[in-house]
């Protein structure tokens, strides 16, 4: 049995006993279902359905309603921003990024710059300043809103700042900020400030961002 099947069996057992389901169990089911959709269902849809949809030359949104044991129903809308239609989580997988492999270089003796951090003053007077720049950067993006920031399309090294996939090269520098959403922290403190400035202006957040030692 898969983890999801095992979890379903546990949920059914609790329901049969008339026992309540706790939030942790329901959250685990949500995460496993979303993982199945992202890793198996979406790739299959891209392979089989996308070629047929490519015949349509105008934008649209298709909403699939699935109820176990019942036929699938599909609704169509000409509004192209799905977040305007319903309370939905975006589950599409970002394409894999191809990184150029650079051959061996001569090692240079360089002076290592002292570590720097970030301090962000929010409009309401709150301050975000974590133990390091990467953590502050991640926290700030969460406060700004993962989906609104993702929708800005900001990238670094070709990777979405808020991505739905773990990159093959920079995956260690991606932090899971929510199930299936990863914040890329592979950038210098100065570059983090530039990215946060863009987010701040685009979303009209009224932040004041500075580098601290």
Per DSSP bridges, beta strands 208-212 and 174-178 are: unpaired
3-state secondary structure of 193: helix
Q: Which residues contact 150 (CB under 8 A, 6 or more apart)?
A: 90, 160, 161, 162, 163, 181
Q: Which residues contact 180 (CB under 8 A, 6 or more apart)?
A: 31, 34, 35, 38, 91, 164
Q: What's the pLDDT score for residue 144?
A: 92
> pTM of this prediction?
0.59
Asked if 181 and 146 count as a contact pair (C-beta separation under 8 A), the reply is: yes
| Regions of the chain where pLDDT drops below 50 | none
Tokens read off for 138: 């991640």
**85-127 tens-digit pLDDT:** 555 555 567 778 887 766 665 655 555 557 889 999 999 999 9
Q: What's the pLDDT score for residue 128?
A: 95
Tokens read off for 173: 């520098």
Q: What's the pLDDT score for residue 190?
A: 93
Q: What's the pLDDT score for residue 193?
A: 95
């Amino acid at each position: 049995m898969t983890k999801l099947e095992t979890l379903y069996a546990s949920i059914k057992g609790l329901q049969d006993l008339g026992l309540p389901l706790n939030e942790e169990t329901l959250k685990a089911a949500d995460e496993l279902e979303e993982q199945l959709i992202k890793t198996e269902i979406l790739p299959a849809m891209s392979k089989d359905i996308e070629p047929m949809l490519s015949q349509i030359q105008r934008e649209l949104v298709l909403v699939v309603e699935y109820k176990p044991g019942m036929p699938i129903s599909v609704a169509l809308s000409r509004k192209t921003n799905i977040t305007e239609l319903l309370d939905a989580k975006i589950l599409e997988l970002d394409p894999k990024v191809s990184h150029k492999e650079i051959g061996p270089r001569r090692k240079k003796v360089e002076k290592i710059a002292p570590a720097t951090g970030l301090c962000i003053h929010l409009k309401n007077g709150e301050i975000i300043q974590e133990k390091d720049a990467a953590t502050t950067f991640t926290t700030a993006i969460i406060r700004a809103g993962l989906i609104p920031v993702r929708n800005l399309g900001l990238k670094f090294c070709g990777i979405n700042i808020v991505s739905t996939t773990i990159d093959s090269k920079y995956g260690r520098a991606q932090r899971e900020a929510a199930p299936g959403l990863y914040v890329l922290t592979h950038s210098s403190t100065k570059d983090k400030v530039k990215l946060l400035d863009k987010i701040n202006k685009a979303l009209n957040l009224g932040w004041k961002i500075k580098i601290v030692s």
